[in-house]
Structure 1
Amino acid sequence: MKRFGVLLRHYLLIALSLAFLTGIILQNACPSIPPPPVLLCSSLISLILLFGHRKTHRICIPALLLLAGLLGFLHAANSAKQSLHETTIASRITGEEDTVLIGTLHTMPLFDGKSSTITIKSHYLRLKDEKAFSQVKGLIQLRLKDTWPSSFLPGDELVIRARLSRPYRFGNPGGFNYPAFLDAKNIRTVGRISSPAHIHPLDHTQSLFHRIRYLPERMRLLLKQKIDNILPPQQAAMYRALLIGDRSGLNRAQLESFKASGVFHILAISGLHLSIVASVLFAIFYWLVRRSSFLMLRISSKKMALLATIPPLFCYALLAGFQTPVLRSLIMVVIFILSFCIHRQRSPFTTLSFAALVILLIHPATLFTVSFQLSFAAVASLILILPRLSSIMQRDTTAGNSDKKTNFFTVLFKWTSAATLVSVVATVGTAPLLIYSFNRLSTVGPIANLFIEPLLCLWTLPLGLLSLPLLFISPSLGEWLLHTGGTGITAAAVIADFLAAQEYSTLWFATPAPTLIILYYLALFLYFMKFFRKTSLLLLSIVCCLFFFPPQSFFAKYSKESELVFLDVGQGSSTFLSFPGGRRILIDGGGSSSEKFNVGESIIAPYLWNKGITTLDAVVITHPDSDHYNGIPFILNRFRPPVLWINGSDGHEQTYQELLTLAEELKIRVKKPEENQILLAAEGAVLENITSPLHTESENYATGNRISSNDDSLILKFTASNKKLSCLFPGDISSKVEKELVENVEGNRLQSSFLLSPHHGSKTSNSQLFLKNVNPWHIVVSAGSFRPLLFPSPQLRRYCKENDIQLLNTAETGALTIRTDGANTTIHRFISDAN
């Protein structure tokens, strides 16, 4: 205990930073705790520290730590309160609103090849039904499906007609929290501009401070344009990411290759980039200072050169967008330089904790971003192995051997060993966070870093940095440097594509529990600090095994519950069924999607991983419409179900044919269910097929009528083991098929306690005759939030109200979970439960 107290006093800043961080986490976990009592406790502790008697010195450090934690709590609470202030634009926007706003173009416009994204600093706002503008503040992210007009530059005052809303999050456990992601950037309102014609400039004189404030963003934009004009698109997109932190031009294939090969971090400007910039600047300034005998006689050349690097580094950080890794690296480099100059070098961990404290003081929500967590975890891991790394580099393995060839290979071996060690340790330090955030871990990362990091960081990046000023001084030389550096980009892309294409280049994991991550880092810390090394190594081994074999899957085998989960996928449909004994099936998997957003990858798979699920027993596609299957290819790749059930139709889209081809390549059996066939059964729970009456030869061929894609849907019924819970899945059938079903299906086979509304609640389905025969207690509508008057239809809403049927829309409830243990049935709404 005494040793612990000594360590605590010696590393007090680290302890205070951790306490401050803990306070922010507590406020995020318990936002309902009122700040006044916390403020009162903080005041009392402050008084004790100020006026306490000498005898109380033993409680000073614990009191300081408690005070830091309370201040972290109050700071996070105050930041959250400011976002709801009545003058912020987020407080004025409750739904989708047509508005006219006046604001400043705050950042460089980003363009991904199809649409532009901008950030506006708002000043005035007028809603559709208002006659006058009201003053507001806050940042807004706007999207324009076009290239941004080149005449509008960062810092310009603009009048924009836009449709604004709050950031939307699909309401599913484990899903990406888009509002929180934007909140870390102080953005709480988003919107879209329908046409460049809805953007107009405001002519007025800008102050000198205003012009200086937006000069870095204008320079970023100018450099972006020059790079785009000089290089081919792929090289230009990569160079923009490396030099100015703009990754908007990278296509999906490029991003996936770098993620799968474990080198995606190189594309984010961080400590490595700033270290290279600082080294180049130091070499230049050191050479210049040593040219002057006057300076060398009066001041330390190294100190002068180091201090001279700070202003250019700050300017480069501004050009890079001042993102979290950049800010962390800048703070650490500046502290290192100042400490060296005053001969007060501190522990690297102290410097790192100070950088974290500064960033969290600026904006506490940054703590919950992946960028913050990965950045600090990687650097902390590298700090731990610095002594070992130094011993490798300084070890004299050439004693008694003067052969230059041997020396060359010895030096090469040492550098390769050191680089491999750095890559492995960084991976070990960030692995749990990578798995938690992305559910994947690259196995080829250390190898990829050995080849790609030197190409991009020691060849492409330095040449690119040198080209930036030369593009204005000597354009031809600057262009030559960019083209020369572009060869490194091409070579790196080839290596990344090759490594990413290997079968086991990426391992996929279920989402680990936060307690498992804490245990991992605790065991790692104890091992490196040489406390209980055997016990900590055993604990680390057990924890690593639990990452590969999630405890949830083990306990699911002994579960007696049945579970239906209607996922919130926007305008589409996807339902997950869990049977007693842990058997699982997915019915449909389609919804909102775009070139950079796939419903399978971004919604369905994260939900399954969050449940600890890595395999499925079967997947069903009720019919080949994209809003029912466009996420299935990713699910087949990652969860490898042994069978894929389809309705037998070839579909009318090429992507559906590609899906069937993929299933064949993965050796997944593609089957069409027969009438009344059971698709899956376990301990009394059954999913069976009820064949559509239109699936007859006379209807298809004798009469010459062609069944529509919607009417060709598989019609399924799930019945739990207690027979009290059942659900009918009719796909997108129309009222015509509904009528045939009622007339042809025997007995009460259609009756179900839950009904997934046909065709997302459309008026062309959900006939009264059909609803009366199904006689559900609850009707579930799987639909998006942007057409509420059509899905569900007014007729369906009225029918449910008149017949006392609860209508549940996933756009309003989020993921809807119905669970039964044989005796009791519960319904959980993700959105209301999360709130």
Structure 2
Amino acid sequence: MISLGIIEIRKGVMVKLKCIFCLFLLSFIVQFFYFYVAHQIPEHYFFKKILVKVSIEKVVKRSVQTTRLIAKTQQICDNTACKKIYKRIELSLYRCYKKPQVGEQWQFYIKIKPWHGYANPGGFNSELWAFIHGIAAKGYVYTNKSMRRIATINPYSLVGIKNIIRDRIISFTSKGSDAQAIILALVLGDKSEMTYQLRQLLQITGTSHLLAISGLHIGLISGGAYLLLYWLWRLSTYLCRWIPAKKAAGIFALIIAFLYALISGMGSPAIRALLMIAILTYALCKHQRINTTIVFYNAFLFSIIIQPFSLLNISFWLSYLAIFLILYVISYRYQLSKIISYWKIQWAITVGLMPILFFYFHQSASIGMITNLFAIPMVSFIILPLSFIASIFHIDLISHYIFNLDSQLINFLIWLLGFCKVHLFGMIYVATDNLMIVISAIIGCLLLLSPLQLRLNGFAIIFFLPLIFYQPRHIDENDFSVSIIDVGQGLSILVRTKFHNLVYDLGSIYPSGGSATQSAVLPLLLTQKISKIDKLIVSHQDSDHVGDINLFKHYYPNTEILTSAIKKLNYLPNIKACRAGEIWVWDGVVFKILAPESSPYIGDNHESCVLQISNQQHQILLTGDLASKDEKQLLKAYAKKLQAEVLVLSHHGSKYSSSKSFLSAINPKYAIVSAGFANRFHFPNQSVLQRCQSLGINVLRTDKCGMIDFYFPRHAALKLACYRYKRIKI
């Protein structure tokens, strides 16, 4: 209400701007202090068993074996005392038969640690996401037996109403179906039932935005409410004399929009839409002329006053940029047919958002302009209204019929999107962290979308050239690069020569679903424009090295696989045993397999594939999960030939590996540890770090550095970079 009052100020633009700035600053200080200074979790509660009382705020993902949820602590107890602390944390429950619901209060024994995410090019910055959402820590429930529900949901509360609607949707739709997941997302903003395959389909086809409760959805629901009440209100002369029909309908539409936004979780796009409707309603009640551009700018300013940290959220910028592009295009005043105008808007949004998507996500859906031509009308004007009506309509026979029709339409839409995914070019991958290239591309977009009368469209290509011809890295003949990818507790390494690429291991598979292959390895490969992997070496059979190899083969089906885990992976095509003595040369760079010499190829730690890479100047050694006795055999077989400038420590720095004699023989300048932050195995072991220190070896760790990148030139010193120190980090 204070923000709306700024509109009434008549003393000039500068006074308004000063008021807005002061409100923004005040809101920033209050929210920063409340969310990020007060109620912090003391460090002594981390990495140990504690008893907490929490209220469940959101179920992020629920599967057969795992549940991930966001909870707000009410009280934390350790062995000494209990303290009231109100802070959001993310918890995982493994193989739990109890199903906590949003709005309930529970008592858990948990272990938590500070939030820490991967740091790789192309990867999702989960640390920034956690900061924006005020999530201080993540952990897991220590034992399911100690779980106790201490408060149930009030059926008359907002959460209780949401759960009633959710249960109704689940009861009338097929369990685990894509239709059920999409209806839940559209009506309640609940995406916990969406599968990885469905998310990927929507992402590749550029239709993910349809499931984010935004202006499209809220505007449609509130618009329907406006027309309904406007028609009913005009039936009564007395009501029209009391309050004009337009004013009453506008207020009613605003109330419905607020309730829908509240039920759906009040995300940034929903708040933006709600603010725009509020400003329109305010102007309607004041009998002021409605200017869409002024409404847009006011909504933007009021958004950052209400949520100042939304400026760090990419979805906030994409939401407002999409509206800006629509206003930019429709301001041309062309006399075009509705179909051509609709296509032009889709073209503007697809092209206009590309530079921002390339900068933040390093990819964009090229077929979005086509898929959205039919997906937006289907979802907005058919699927969403049917879902909404069926969810609130309490005549079971009618609801069952509507839900059935809705599910069939959703299945048809998914089939259409799948058809487009297969037969049309899907994603464009561009990796650039250069802000000037992105700004140049934005200027090119504005010129490309400018009115034809200005004749500036032809100049757009000049501003796109830096983006089109940008190459992430050029590698010369006889040079090679090695990137130790940050995959948490696991190992994955990318090796590149001038014309060839090799991947050594694929990281781990998560108990909660997903894998480091999906979240770290593939995004890096795709954003580096690597269209072919010549060899994949899977050092042995452990899950933190095999990763999601099936997903990797889906993206790179023709890759040759070398592994000691032949018995485990023999179902894969183009696979052969990793044997000592195999040598090949790529672009002047020599690759040698040093172990295993002979084995039953079960693929345990002792059979790890050991790879040596060298040019005339430098050498690096990759050792998998070898133990100390295996290192002795390696020393016996190769002696001084093992010397390397860089060594990837065996078994993530375990105390049973990296013996002092082995480290002395190799004599590396750098020792690399690929391990998860505060992992339960306590890797790297302190004894290993002490050995390295005593020998003058510099230790680099992925949990501290993020991705560790080496470049080995033929006639110069190696170059080193840690990605966590390069990127902007909150």
Using the TM superposition, give the Cα deviation of residue 670 of structure 1 relative to its aligned residue in structure 2, in angstroms: 7.8
Using the TM superposition, give the Cα deviation of residue 249 of structure 1 relative to its aligned residue in structure 2, in angstroms: 0.2
Q: 1:831 to 1:76 in 2, by over 3 A?
A: farther
Structure 2 counterpart of 1:602, one-letter code: S
Using the TM superposition, give the Cα deviation of residue 317 of structure 1 relative to its aligned residue in structure 2, in angstroms: 0.9
Select which of 754, 760, 764 maps to 2:652. 760
Q: Decide which structure has the larger Cα Rg and report it.
A: 1
1:740 aligns with 2:633: yes
Q: 1:457 to 1:389 in 2, by over 3 A?
A: farther
Select which of 530, 535, 549 maps to 1:614. 530
Contact 2:591 2:611 in 1 (8 A): yes
Query: What is the TM-score of this pair, normalised by structure 1?
Result: 0.77
Select which of 67, 72, 90 maps to 1:116. 67
Between the aligned partners of 2:705 and 2:226, the Cα distance in structure 1 is 57
Contact 2:565 2:604 in 1 (8 A): no
Contact 1:119 1:139 in 2 (8 A): yes
Contact 1:526 1:533 in 2 (8 A): no
Between the aligned partners of 1:833 and 1:358, the Cα distance in structure 2 is 33
1:652 aligns with 2:564: no
Using the TM superposition, give the Cα deviation of residue 312 of structure 1 relative to its aligned residue in structure 2, in angstroms: 1.7
Select which of 778, 785, 804 maps to 2:670. 778
Partner residue in 1 for 2:356: 433
SS at match of 1:600: helix
Select which of 468, 485, 503 maps to 1:567. 485
Partner residue in 2 for 1:482: 403
Between the aligned partners of 2:688 and 2:73, the Cα distance in structure 1 is 41
1:135 aligns with 2:96: no
Structure 1 counterpart of 2:172, one-letter code: I
SS at match of 1:621: strand
Structure 2 counterpart of 1:733, one-letter code: L
Q: 1:64 to 1:608 in 2, by over 3 A?
A: farther
Between the aligned partners of 1:596 and 1:378, the Cα distance in structure 2 is 32
Q: 1:565-603 deviations in whole A, cap 9, x for unaligned?
A: 322212222223345x58654333323546753323321
1:547 aligns with 2:470: no
Between the aligned partners of 1:693 and 1:520, the Cα distance in structure 2 is 50
Contact 1:374 1:430 in 2 (8 A): yes
Select which of 254, 257, 274 maps to 1:310. 254
Contact 1:108 1:221 in 2 (8 A): no
Partner residue in 1 for 2:162: 220
Partner residue in 2 for 1:381: 325
SS at match of 1:141: strand
Using the TM superposition, give the Cα deviation of residue 532 of structure 1 relative to its aligned residue in structure 2, in angstroms: 11
SS at match of 1:165: strand
SS at match of 2:187: helix
Q: 1:469 to 1:676 in 2, by over 3 A?
A: closer
Q: 1:798 to 1:326 in 2, by over 3 A?
A: same
Partner residue in 1 for 2:206: 262
Q: 1:72 to 1:333 in 2, by over 3 A?
A: closer
Partner residue in 2 for 1:400: none
Q: 1:644 to 1:71 in 2, by over 3 A?
A: farther
Let me know the Cα RMSD of the aligned residues. 3.7
Structure 2 counterpart of 1:467, one-letter code: A
Partner residue in 1 for 2:171: 229
Using the TM superposition, give the Cα deviation of residue 158 of structure 1 relative to its aligned residue in structure 2, in angstroms: 3.9
- Comparing 299-308 with 594-603, greater Cα deviation is found at 594-603
Q: Of Structure 1 and Structure 2, which has the larger fraction of its residues in helix? A: 1
Partner residue in 2 for 1:369: 313
Contact 2:116 2:677 in 1 (8 A): no
Using the TM superposition, give the Cα deviation of residue 731 of structure 1 relative to its aligned residue in structure 2, in angstroms: 2.5
Q: 1:132-182 deviations in whole A, cap 9, x for unaligned?
A: 21232322232323568568661x544332222222211334421112112
Partner residue in 1 for 2:224: 280
Select which of 109, 117, 133 maps to 1:185. 133
Contact 2:503 2:535 in 1 (8 A): yes
1:492 aligns with 2:417: no
Using the TM superposition, give the Cα deviation of residue 461 of structure 1 relative to its aligned residue in structure 2, in angstroms: 1.3
Q: 1:783-833 deviations in whole A, cap 9, x for unaligned?
A: 223446553345433432443333333223322233455444454444456
Question: Which structure exhibits the higher relative contact order, with contacts defined as CA atoms closer than 8 Å and separated by 6 or more residues?
Answer: 2
Using the TM superposition, give the Cα deviation of residue 501 of structure 1 relative to its aligned residue in structure 2, in angstroms: 2.1
Between the aligned partners of 2:61 and 2:629, the Cα distance in structure 1 is 48
1:125 aligns with 2:76: yes
Using the TM superposition, give the Cα deviation of residue 618 of structure 1 relative to its aligned residue in structure 2, in angstroms: 3.4
Query: What is the TM-score of this pair, normalised by structure 2?
Result: 0.87
Between the aligned partners of 1:298 and 1:557, the Cα distance in structure 2 is 77
SS at match of 1:573: coil
Using the TM superposition, give the Cα deviation of residue 189 of structure 1 relative to its aligned residue in structure 2, in angstroms: 2.4
SS at match of 2:492: strand
1:301 aligns with 2:245: yes
- Comparing 159-168 with 616-625, greater Cα deviation is found at 616-625
Q: Percent identity?
A: 21
Structure 2 counterpart of 1:713, one-letter code: S
5 Å-filtered alignment, 1:569-718, equals 569-579=487-497, 584-593=501-510, 596-608=513-525, 612-615=528-531, 618-625=534-541, 626-630=543-547, 644=560, 646-647=562-563, 649=564, 651-653=566-568, 656-657=569-570, 660-661=572-573, 675=581, 677-682=583-588, 686-692=589-595, 694-695=597-598, 708-718=603-613
Using the TM superposition, give the Cα deviation of residue 231 of structure 1 relative to its aligned residue in structure 2, in angstroms: 0.6
SS at match of 2:138: strand
Structure 2 counterpart of 1:383, one-letter code: L
Contact 2:20 2:305 in 1 (8 A): no
Partner residue in 1 for 2:705: 813
